[in-house]
């Protein structure tokens, strides 16, 4: 799995950090998303996908990578 974030779209709702703190963080000054892990391990995939769906401003993109999606 390959994760991308678009900081210009982010509205800092915080769902991603609340769901997958291993992969997402928020910038201190404005709460904007920071990506900690572009290729998270498989056990986090489901929560990452959920975070992408819940993101109110569609700032998280998830792409399949190689055989492991």
Partner 1 sequence: MTEPRALPIAARAEDRPFDPAAELYELQREEGLPRVTVPSPILGDFEAVMITRYEDARSVLRDDRLRMGFVFDPEAPRTMLNQPGNLLNYNGDEHSRLRRMLTGAFSVKRVRALRPMIEEIVSARLDALSEAGPGADLVRVFSTPIPTMVICELLGVPYADRADFQHRAQVGLDVNTTREVQIRNLAEMDEYMAGLVADHRKQPGDNVLGGVVRDFGHELTDDELVGIGNMLLIAGHETTASMLSASTALLLQHPDQLAVVRDEPSKIDDAVEELLRYCAPATIMPRQAAAPMSVRGQRIEEGERVVVSILAANRDPDATEHDLDALDVSRQPRPHVTFGHGVHQCLGQQLARMELRVALPALFDRFPTLKPAVPWEEIDYRTTALVFGVRELPVTW
* CB of 29 vs partner 1, minimal distance in Å: 5
61: left (phi over 0), alpha (psi -120 to 50) or beta: beta
One character per residue 5-44, x = contact with partner 1 (rule: CB under 8 A): ------xxxx--xx-------xxxxxxx------------
Q: Which residues lie across from 34 on neighbouring strands?
A: 25
Give the nearer residue to partner 1 in terms of CB position, either 21 or 65. Answer: 21
**Please, are residues 16 and 51 in contact by the beta-carbon 8 Å criterion?**
yes
3-state SS assignment for residue 13? coil
* CB of 32 vs partner 1, minimal distance in Å: 7
3-state SS assignment for residue 66? coil
**Contacting residues toward partner 1, per CB under 8 A:** 11-14, 17-18, 26-32, 53-54, 56-58
């Amino acid at each position: 799995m390959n994760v991308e974030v678009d900081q210009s779209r982010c509205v800092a709702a915080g769902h991603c950090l609340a769901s997958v703190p291993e992969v997402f963080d928020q910038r201190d000054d404005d709460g904007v998303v920071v990506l900690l892990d572009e290729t998270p391990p498989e056990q986090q995939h489901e929560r990452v996908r959920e975070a992408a769906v819940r993101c109110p401003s569609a700032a998280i993109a998830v792409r399949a990578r190689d055989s492991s999606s």
